[in-house]
Amino acid sequence: MNNEIGAVEPIEAISKVIKKKNPSILFHVDAIQAYGKFVIRPKRQGIDLLSVSAHKIHGPKGVGFLYVDQRVKIRPLIYGGGQQRGMRSGTENVPGIAGMGVAAKIMYTDHGEKMQSMTALKDYMIDRLSEIDGVTVNSLSGDLSAPQIVSASFSDIRSEVLLHALEEREIYVSSGSACSSNHPAVSGTLKGIGVKPELLDSTLRFSFGVYSTKEEIDYSIDVLKELLPVLRRYQRG
């Protein structure tokens, strides 16, 4: 799943292509954004290794897990006392591990209902954004994209300017991938899907959680309608 626009990748199909080319190739999936939002079955989907982070499912920061298929042999990250089945020596973060376990249990309880609700919120925000002039939505509605991400471009205003203006109104968004070491670089994802050059530096990502509400979306839209005309005049000046 793409973390900028929410595009869902055909993981199982990708795995089949890889294994057909060379069965010994190891297929690693970065599921940081996808875990908790989708039902993931590594063996069925041909996944050899899979990474997950707790904070994306309302768990504690600084903890995650790596799924390793039993057929895969990897070298330890840190040698020593043999903790974590010999993969990484050192004292285990027991509270963090327990917190992630609880978060995962909560996310996958009534999972279908939770994701249906989040998808409805995403679609609602896409509809509300379409009310505003000069806004281009880059994410797809419904089940065609992830339920927790909406990417939108705002003409005639730099994303960093709008981001900080929204921050002052207690609306927290992202202007790009947090994984980028040279942020704020031009997004290869946005270029890849054909976003107009003048909008590449005018794009924000809005993210949702299971606790997000329609009222929060309405507030965000009202603030955008208020801020955009003012900020555009300022930028032109």
Amino acid at 20: K
> CA 161, CA 28: separation in Å to the nearest integer?
36
Helix (H, G, I), strand (E, B) or coil at 84: helix
Helix (H, G, I), strand (E, B) or coil at 52: strand
- Using DSSP bridges, classify how beta strands 149-154 and 203-207 pair: parallel, antiparallel or unpaired: antiparallel
Active site (catalytic) residues: 179
Alpha-carbon separation of residue 10 from 25, 55, 145, 226 (angstroms): 18, 24, 12, 39
Q: What is the DSSP string of 19-30?
A: HHH-TT---EEE
